[in-house]
Structure 1
Amino acid sequence: MTALPQHFENWFDARGWQAHPHQLEMLAKKDEPAQLLIAPTGGGKTLAGFLPTLVELGSRPQSGLHTLYISPLKALAADIRRNLEKPVTEIGLDIRIEDRTGDTPATRKKRQRVDPPHILLTTPESLALLLSYEDAPRMFAGVSRVIVDEIHALAESKRGDQLMLALSRLQALAPNLRRVGLSATVEEPEAIAKTLAFGSQPCSILHAPSGPTPDIQMLKTTEAPPWSGGGAAYSIPAVMELVKQHKTTLIFHNTRAQAEIFFHNLWLANDDALPIGIHHGSLARAAREKTEAAMAEGKLRAIVCTGSLDLGIDWGDVDLVIQIGAPKNVKRLVQRIGRANHVYNAPSKAILVPANRFEVVECVAALEAVREMDLDGEPHGRGPLDVLCQHILIRAASGPFHADALFDEFRSTGDYASLTRAEFDGCLDFIATGGYALRTYDRWQRLLLKEDGMWHLRDPRSTQRIRMNLGTIQDTDKLKVRMRGRGSAAPLGEIEESFAATLEPGDTFLIGGEIVRFVGLREMDVIVRKDAAKRPRIATFMGTKFATSTQLSHRILDYFQRSDWSELPNHTADWLMLQKTISALPNKDELLIETFPNDGLEHLCIYGFAGRNALQTLGLLLTHRLETLGFHPLGFVATDYALMIWGLDEVTDFAPLFEPANLRDGLENWLAESAVMKRSFKTCATIAGLIDRNGPHPKKSGRQTTFSSDILYNTLLKYDPDHLMLRITKEEAMRGLVDFSRIEEMLTRTNGKLLTKRLERVSPLAAPLLLEIGNVPVRGSAQERLLTEEAERMLSEVGLE
């Protein structure tokens, strides 16, 4: 195994440290074309990735860019820079390290292109932007190494596809480029390695020892969780006590809305005035940076947060992680647990807090999966063509290109290895002309094939527009929230445009932990003022909702069939036992369907365990089918585990409803007429460059963009139904918004076996869904009381109180 240079050994010895074997192995294999290191949180994987770079630059100084570090988070790039500068300074290495993200000042960005540092830490979007400049060949000619941190987080999204296409371009500029991937949570190492490798080159996989088993438990409180809801307000006193007992606690939530509400309630219970912060992606940059700085200095006792603090950042004083609500995904939970005791030989400490009664079961199943390191993940599939279209534009912005060479570049990228020439030519024609129905419009005539056999931008001035619109992150349309009377002062944060449209003057809501009162809209800003109310009238904006993964859903179904439920609290075990007695518990091999009357209506409950998106889609398809068959459905509600439909008539014959061919035909018909396709079209068309969100003029609102995308969608549907963008849109809608693959998985798993139960009244498992129905229109302080009373009434009917 390769030994460290003496001055590196001296640095380790001075701290009483010793290089880990996997760090030395990475150094020994530094000349391999690609390496994937899987090491636990706190296992020194970042240093392992950078060690070859530091040794090389320490022994053979050079000018220009040597190593690129790619992070999924801006904050992580900045944190790694701070952590890396310390050993570089202490060892006495003449190495310049800088980060470059959307937060970097324009003057520094300009200087970095002329005089790049030895090590540049950046994000996929910033790398794509750098590659779009005509001086990219000069800047990247000498780059030797690229390190992709938290590669699992990028591999699951279009950001990962964008990055891998950028790396294919980088490899063309620097043929000897070596690739390194780092992660603590990879469920299929071979698949990630294949994505990371260049063409047919090999990628070696290194596994570091797993380290101590995490100390992870479920919160035990005297008060049982409520029957429905996701806020876990019942746990506030217990969580406050845990915060008092630890140095720094990270309190994770699955949505920004839940984080805002919980932070507000926690602050109201904070009688000792402990310093507590909040951090999520919709807060203003200044607010996020203030929280991050306070964390780094050890000034906060607790931080209520979302996925914005999931990854890699090393907050040394964090000694407890609390996950509010079921984690939905084992891999995400492992990542969050690793934020506590971020050192190699100390076990991470975490507490899971189920938000409602059913989530108790999900938390127990997730705990087992973490102990067994049984990670989950959905297959990513082939590289999406909208991202490829955007990359063609990025490539054109940097200068003319040969189609054959670009096609070969794309085929060297793992997820695009199966790309056909016909698919590539279709994307190239779309970028060049807009396609058959749009080729008469000048604005989509973007490329020209000249006599030199190369494709050129038709108007070189369009490079600015291309650069302003690159990226694959398509968040919900947001509006800035600004305090009245502060002019151009920094915003408090952002809220969804759809949420802003529901606000009326006087409405109060939460942002950044503060209650603000809505004053009105001013252009693209939401104007508010501070409000002294103790509770907001409308809690907060929506935020992203996660669906329980397929693997975790299967674990829950397996858990139902066990004879030993000793890990469950008595109230939950009794609840499940009553369900088993009155009806049945769902299992993987057959689809449990219950029907029962309630409040004068017939109810149909299907326990599909396919995730919220898939079951919402199934609800749309089944209600449409039932309407066609004359059963008069009135509505439905879906959770991650079940779908409930209510209507006027009892349903007795279920087999035709779940015939795969009928469901797919129904989906095709529904998609053709629904707004889902238009939503998907807007997203894909923006990524592919058909629609601009940004330009030299003020940014378009979501409504303006939707209006123009709707016109384009209708035009293509009428005059060019086989247009590339419509094909991309359908594939995206099937995979993302409607999640039809999860419905197909459910049908395959149960293989046509239906277990039907006709009940006289609501079952224990169905009762929480009835509360979900009642949850929608109820506002204000009466909500919790009404839901509690309704739960008690329904559950007393089935003998459980």
Structure 2
Amino acid sequence: MDLPAPLTRYFADRGWSLHPHQQDMLDRSAEPSLLLIAPTGGGKTMAGFLPTLTELADGTHEGLHTLYVSPLKALANDIKRNLRGPIEETGLPIRVEDRTGDTSQTQRKRQRADPPDILLTTPESLALMISYPDAARTFAGLKRIIIDEIHALAEGKRGDQLMLCLSRLQTLAPGLRRVGLSATVDDPGVIAHYLARHPDPCPILHADPGPAPDIAMLSTTDAPPWAGAGGRYAIHDVLEEVKRHNTTLIFHNTRAQAEIFFHNLWLANEDDLPIGIHHGALSREARLKVESAMVAGELKAIVATGSLDLGIDWGDVDLVIQIGAPKKVKSLVQRIGRANHRYNAPSKARLVPANRFEVVECVAALDAVRDGTLDGDLRLDGPRDVLCQHIACIACAGDFAEDVLFAEIRSVGPYSTLTRAEFDDCLNFVATGGYALRAYDRFQRLKQRADGTWGLRDPRAARQIRMNLGTIIDTDTLKVRYKGRGGMPLGEIEEGFAATLTRGDTFLMGGKVVRFEGLRELIVEVSPNPNKEPKVATFMGYKWATSVHLADRIQRILHAGDFAAFPDHTREWLDLQVERSRMPEPGRLLAETFPRDGRHHLCVYGFCGRNAMQTLGLLMTRRMEEAGLDPLGFVATDYAVLIWGLKPVTDVAPLLANDGIREALDGWLQGNAVMKRTFRNAAIIAGLIDRNFPGKRASGKQATFSSDILYDTLHRFDPDHLMLRITEEEAMRGHIDFGRVELLLDTVGDRIDHVPLNRVSPLAAPLFLEMGKVPIKGKAEGRMMQEEAERLMAEAGLPLD
């Protein structure tokens, strides 16, 4: 396939030529599915669109030709800008629009009746579109779907929802071709299996990877603290980097950390450099304002979270700074790629570890990037709560035959091994609610017709189902606006945080200090208050766990004992650990015991991520209780768990034996809040609990109350209910991450290195400073934490300057 003349002239006028992988995409545009892996800045998104632009150039196609799906609304906005440029300049008769949660209801309705040639959307909006009875007409002429940053979707339920929707699109438009685009794929074969219509193969195209990135740790004036996650100690060093570069993206792992850092950066910004903040809890207006300013080159820096991780094409960004350990190599590579977003231009990035242990993780991550190795966490079995939602979504569009729907679902890679019995379980649940709930009208949603097809029992239920589609479980949030009619929207804060506020309290929102004035109809009303020290909105966001691959690298680095790559302050700390105790070792488990402050302590280094380490702490303290060791509590990090109690642990092995650990976990889970929270989330996705209603939204307390009653009812009267089985599966790989605990204990076996000590070890000392262990509040918090750190390190034998 050759480019049409207008596009050929457009490229020639700019001195551009097609990259080999872009020409390959044109030449192989007829493939049923195709996966392109190309470096950031390599023009992979344009490569995905070139066949579409070529096919639409003559203006003969009617209706929707191409769907573009991305994980981020900001990415859709960016692609729309970049596409409209060449289309308008060349005069091609192509209409491009987007449809996301920010699109007005009027525009959404018009798009279904009169779709554009190219529609840019998200998985949630696509699910809504296929739920309408006119979906067959809307998608009848669809020729191509482009899934950008497919690796990011493949790791979660949004991707499962998308691929189920794609199976329905393939039925509505049998000739539909699938294109997947990514810059960071650890296992291309798995992603190709995920993208293709099972069992069809999916060819994989690899572009030239381009030059190696310029990456290093940022040299800072002050050493990182012993605990914490904000990176505040490096504010002035980061500001100096901002001054030296055109535009700097400063990434954080959570929204709260981004808000704190932005606030402190602004206070230190004596030169009044133009800087902004961007994250998913901000209002649409705030996000678009920052994006527009970035495109126009008006900002020197932007503090951001995952809302800007993927594919944003801002060519003037010449530096990326990652605050805090990246947790996943793949995520770091994505963020690095935002700098020098051009073909064959090396990206430049600097890492700022938030605390001393993160220095080790940053070194491991940098080594992995330089080696070109990535990590991943792809699930090959599709979650059934998403499947239940999809069945309800299909029913909204009209009656369906169960055999046809089952065949569609089995064509989806993550659901290709779904059994008919498992499908029937899900269909029965959607239809009746299951055995214990079938007597209640509110759970009777589907009815089987005389001809054997299934459809909504009451067509009016479609509205309620549509209002609750989606797999993103929001934390319970409330809108934040300036006080008064028509007050400017600022974003959202968590309901639990709002409940702690009293009139006059201040907190951070969008980098501004605001004063809480009151709550009006689930709107948090605030006023500007720039002169007070704020509280901080406790955004939950997504807290990554250190990947298995990165955790293994960390242990190999520590065990090797060569700390030449580390700054002096970290090297001295690690050398002292080797002298006083020993280092963790891959395939083995290090456990240290020591007395401190009249208590006996046990520290176990598992490197499983915070959720798994917390679960390990729960299981170990349960066994300590049974053994009469009187544990008092524990604290967990991504790397270790520290337990304290009244009696010493002389034999660690029984506490870490894999035998019976699943049964012990099951017993602990049954009455635990983790299980109820997991049930609530799965029940919302599966459609058992509604969060949204016409004209209103259930509060988090209302939804939790309803889910707790349902959980207790099912557990008592129908313990084998589908939702309880789903809940256990989700808990095992979600909040408690039991799979990583099992993997750790299976790998270690009896290879446990127990080191009894007479005082705290250097490696264990920072755990005493973790949140919840040293509850220090108030204005003197920083000084008191520093004094506590100095006391601990002195105990461990490390002299401090």
Structure 1 residue identity aligned to 2:108: K
- The alpha-carbon deviation at position 550 of structure 1 amounts to 0.8
Q: Structure 1: where are the runs of 5+ without partners?
A: none
What CA deviation, in whole Å up to 9, does each residue of 1:396-423 have, x standing for no partner?
0000000100000000111100010001
Alpha-carbon distance in 1 for matches of 2:473, 2:86:
38
Give the secondary structure class of the aligned counterpart of 1:440.
coil
Change (3 A) 1:779 1:752: same
Change (3 A) 1:714 1:563: closer
CA contact (8 A) 1:284 1:490 kept: no
- The alpha-carbon deviation at position 729 of structure 1 amounts to 0.7
TM-score normalised to structure 1 length: 0.98
Partner of 2:549: 551
Partner of 2:511: 513
CA contact (8 A) 1:58 1:93 kept: yes
What CA deviation, in whole Å up to 9, does each residue of 1:378-433 have, x standing for no partner?
13130011111111111100000001000000001111000100011111111111
CA contact (8 A) 1:150 1:183 kept: yes
Alpha-carbon distance in 2 for matches of 1:773, 1:284:
30
CA contact (8 A) 1:469 1:694 kept: yes
Partner of 1:453: 452
- The alpha-carbon deviation at position 8 of structure 1 amounts to 2.9
CA contact (8 A) 1:280 1:305 kept: yes
CA contact (8 A) 1:511 1:540 kept: no
Partner of 1:491: 489
Give the secondary structure class of the aligned counterpart of 1:27.
helix
Structure 1 residue identity aligned to 2:493: I
- The alpha-carbon deviation at position 3 of structure 1 amounts to 4.2
CA contact (8 A) 2:494 2:538 kept: no
CA contact (8 A) 2:602 2:642 kept: yes
Out of 417-426 and 505-514, give the one that drifted further.
Answer: 505-514
Alpha-carbon distance in 1 for matches of 2:652, 2:396:
56
CA contact (8 A) 1:261 1:539 kept: no
Alpha-carbon distance in 1 for matches of 2:432, 2:3:
56
CA contact (8 A) 1:41 1:343 kept: yes
TM-score normalised to structure 2 length: 0.98
CA contact (8 A) 1:509 1:540 kept: no
Alpha-carbon distance in 2 for matches of 1:477, 1:773:
23
Give the secondary structure class of the aligned counterpart of 2:185.
coil
Partner of 1:76: 75
CA contact (8 A) 1:261 1:540 kept: no
- The alpha-carbon deviation at position 500 of structure 1 amounts to 2.0
**Are residue 675 (structure 1) and residue 673 (structure 2) matched?**
yes
Alpha-carbon distance in 1 for matches of 2:138, 2:728:
39
CA contact (8 A) 1:147 1:179 kept: yes
**Are residue 356 (structure 1) and residue 316 (structure 2) matched?**
no
Partner of 1:195: 194
- The alpha-carbon deviation at position 627 of structure 1 amounts to 1.5
Change (3 A) 1:776 1:495: farther
Change (3 A) 1:227 1:4: same
Structure 2 residue identity aligned to 1:655: A
Partner of 1:185: 184
Give the secondary structure class of the aligned counterpart of 1:436.
coil
Partner of 2:251: 252
**Are residue 753 (structure 1) and residue 739 (structure 2) matched?**
no
What CA deviation, in whole Å up to 9, does each residue of 1:620-679 have, x standing for no partner?
111122122111111100000000001111011111111112321211001101011110
Selected match of 1:633 from 607, 631, 634: 631
Identical positions, percent: 65
Partner of 1:744: 742
Partner of 1:470: 469
Alpha-carbon distance in 2 for matches of 1:351, 1:55:
40
Selected match of 2:655 from 650, 654, 657: 657
CA contact (8 A) 2:762 2:796 kept: yes
Partner of 1:229: 228
- The alpha-carbon deviation at position 59 of structure 1 amounts to 4.2
Q: Structure 2: where are the runs of 5+ without partners?
A: none
Give the secondary structure class of the aligned counterpart of 2:489.
coil
Selected match of 2:575 from 555, 566, 577: 577
Change (3 A) 1:47 1:618: same
- The alpha-carbon deviation at position 534 of structure 1 amounts to 4.3
- The alpha-carbon deviation at position 774 of structure 1 amounts to 6.3
Give the secondary structure class of the aligned counterpart of 2:368.
helix
Structure 2 residue identity aligned to 1:672: Q
- The alpha-carbon deviation at position 515 of structure 1 amounts to 1.6
Alpha-carbon distance in 2 for matches of 1:408, 1:272:
63
Change (3 A) 1:87 1:25: same
The number of residue pairs the alignment matches comes to: 799
Alpha-carbon distance in 2 for matches of 1:563, 1:740:
30
Give the secondary structure class of the aligned counterpart of 1:319.
strand
- The alpha-carbon deviation at position 250 of structure 1 amounts to 0.6
Selected match of 1:502 from 486, 500, 505: 500
Out of 617-626 and 146-155, give the one that drifted further.
Answer: 617-626
- The alpha-carbon deviation at position 74 of structure 1 amounts to 1.1
CA contact (8 A) 2:380 2:413 kept: no
Partner of 1:524: 522
Partner of 1:30: 29
Structure 2 residue identity aligned to 1:620: L
Out of 521-530 and 691-700, give the one that drifted further.
Answer: 521-530
Change (3 A) 1:10 1:531: closer
Give the secondary structure class of the aligned counterpart of 1:603.
strand
CA contact (8 A) 1:68 1:122 kept: yes
**Are residue 425 (structure 1) and residue 424 (structure 2) matched?**
yes
Partner of 2:702: 704
CA contact (8 A) 2:574 2:762 kept: yes
Alpha-carbon distance in 2 for matches of 1:505, 1:604:
44
Partner of 1:771: 769
Structure 2 residue identity aligned to 1:75: A
**Are residue 329 (structure 1) and residue 328 (structure 2) matched?**
yes
Matches within 5 A, 1:707-718: 707-718=705-716
Partner of 1:396: 395
- The alpha-carbon deviation at position 139 of structure 1 amounts to 1.0
- The alpha-carbon deviation at position 6 of structure 1 amounts to 4.0
Selected match of 2:610 from 596, 609, 612: 612
Alpha-carbon distance in 2 for matches of 1:773, 1:97:
49
Out of 494-503 and 253-262, give the one that drifted further.
Answer: 494-503
Partner of 1:733: 731
Alpha-carbon distance in 1 for matches of 2:423, 2:130:
20
Change (3 A) 1:366 1:643: same
- The alpha-carbon deviation at position 618 of structure 1 amounts to 1.1
Alpha-carbon distance in 2 for matches of 1:60, 1:696:
41
CA contact (8 A) 1:774 1:787 kept: no
- The alpha-carbon deviation at position 532 of structure 1 amounts to 3.8
CA contact (8 A) 1:276 1:300 kept: yes
Partner of 1:146: 145
Give the secondary structure class of the aligned counterpart of 1:643.
strand
Partner of 2:16: 17
CA contact (8 A) 1:518 1:527 kept: yes
- The alpha-carbon deviation at position 144 of structure 1 amounts to 0.7
Alpha-carbon distance in 1 for matches of 2:439, 2:337:
55
Alpha-carbon distance in 2 for matches of 1:114, 1:421:
36
Alpha-carbon distance in 2 for matches of 1:482, 1:59:
48
Change (3 A) 1:598 1:261: same
Alpha-carbon distance in 2 for matches of 1:603, 1:644:
7
Alpha-carbon distance in 2 for matches of 1:490, 1:402:
49
Structure 2 residue identity aligned to 1:736: G
Partner of 1:162: 161
- The alpha-carbon deviation at position 361 of structure 1 amounts to 0.9
Partner of 1:279: 278
Alpha-carbon distance in 1 for matches of 2:191, 2:149:
11
Give the secondary structure class of the aligned counterpart of 2:330.
helix
Alpha-carbon distance in 1 for matches of 2:107, 2:227:
51
Alpha-carbon distance in 2 for matches of 1:367, 1:284:
34
Structure 1 residue identity aligned to 2:413: G
- The alpha-carbon deviation at position 377 of structure 1 amounts to 1.1
Partner of 2:240: 241
- The alpha-carbon deviation at position 776 of structure 1 amounts to 5.1
Compute the RMSD of aligned alpha carbons.
1.4
Alpha-carbon distance in 2 for matches of 1:90, 1:458:
52
What CA deviation, in whole Å up to 9, does each residue of 1:54-86 have, x standing for no partner?
111124621111111111111111210110111
Structure 1 residue identity aligned to 2:327: K
- The alpha-carbon deviation at position 283 of structure 1 amounts to 1.1
